[in-house]
Amino acid sequence: MQAPFTDIVVPLDGSPTAERALEPARRLAGQAAVPLLLVSRVLPGEAAARRSYLARVVERLATEVDVGALVVDRESIPDAIVGELEPGSLLCISSHGRGGVVRGVLGSVTEAVLRTIEHPALVVGPHAGGPGVLRGRIVACVDGSPESERAVAPAQRWAAAFDLPLWLVEVMDPHALLDRDDAGHVIELARRTDDVRGWDVLHGRSAPRALADLAASETDPVALLVMATHGRTGWSRLRLGSVTTATVHAAGVPVLVVPAGHPERPVRPAPGFVTREPVSG
């Protein structure tokens, strides 16, 4: 089956934190046989140094994947990233993991981008590593709300594309909702979802910790966690969601974050565009 994306876009700012996204993006691009595009936003006077940096990264990756790079001059870093995303592009971006998603080295870039785009983005937390998306289960995380179920369709597409088993997982606080059937929701969802290999209900006071422990399993490895954001309850009480943010920080695998998106307002290049320069290795 064809990959659920046509290319992978990795934003870089020259920092080791941003470069954490390169390894999972490289592996995924090779597995899916799609090109990799490195994008870096620059300020006046930085273009030459940034082009030189990107050329070195391109040279390092070019023997393994089809890779290109762009230096983009815009007023806003999120605008620089979003402006290079085609409808079929997968954004692969690292998170700082300190008090939120990418607060610090890249500012609140990931949060700002996820508020704008309508397609899933692969977010690489500070502890993500190992086999990444190439081996193990695809786990769609649900919580009983319709909003969380938006994670299921992207998880299906990824599982089918990479021939990996699809699982549905719910985390429940053992001290809450005592009158609720623990597995009722996830079983019903599994029954009406094609190609589900299995399901599980985890019990824990901390959903992010429970999901991180699941992802750390050596006997039944997890390739990818898939989570939806912007729900009113459950996973996403905040704009991005405290649970999603904490899971990205704690998990040892990347998290495919499914934003609500704004279909009535398609992504358009933002004002402030000055230059868009390709970089050759």
What pLDDT is attached to residue 278? 63
Lowest mean pLDDT among 2-6, 66-70, 169-173, 193-197: 169-173
The answer as to whether 203 is a domain residue is yes
Same domain, 25 and 53: yes
Same domain, 14 and 88: yes
The answer as to whether 127 is a domain residue is no
The answer as to whether 124 is a domain residue is no
Q: What is the DSSP string of 83-105?
A: TT--TTEEEEEE---SSSSS-ST
Same domain, 108 and 178: no
Same domain, 68 and 142: no
Range of the domain at 247: 132-258
Lowest mean pLDDT among 134-138, 194-198, 238-242: 238-242
Same domain, 80 and 152: no
The answer as to whether 165 is a domain residue is yes
Same domain, 113 and 146: no
Measured CA to CA, the distance from residue 30 to residue 138 in angstroms comes to 18
The answer as to whether 181 is a domain residue is yes
Same domain, 81 and 46: yes
Q: What are phi and psi of 95, to 5 degrees?
A: -120, 145
Measured CA to CA, the distance from residue 69 to residue 159 in angstroms comes to 29
Measured CA to CA, the distance from residue 158 to residue 4 in angstroms comes to 7
Burial of 44 (0-12, 13-18, 19+ CB in 10 A): exposed
Same domain, 14 and 59: yes
What CATH number does the domain containing 181 carry?
3.40.50.620
What pLDDT is attached to residue 102? 36
Lowest mean pLDDT among 17-26, 45-54, 202-211, 224-233: 224-233
Measured CA to CA, the distance from residue 140 to residue 77 in angstroms comes to 30
Structural domains in the chain (count): 2
The answer as to whether 126 is a domain residue is no
Same domain, 141 and 214: yes
Same domain, 59 and 142: no
Same domain, 87 and 192: no
Same domain, 115 and 136: no
The answer as to whether 267 is a domain residue is no
Is the predicted pLDDT of residue 98 greater than 70, yes or no? Answer: no
Lowest mean pLDDT among 105-109, 191-195, 209-213, 242-246: 105-109
130 vs 253, residue with greater confidence: 253
pLDDT digits (tens, 9 = 90+) for 173-232: 776 655 556 677 888 899 999 899 999 998 888 889 999 999 998 899 999 999 987 544
Measured CA to CA, the distance from residue 63 to residue 65 in angstroms comes to 6
The answer as to whether 263 is a domain residue is no
Measured CA to CA, the distance from residue 245 to residue 33 in angstroms comes to 30
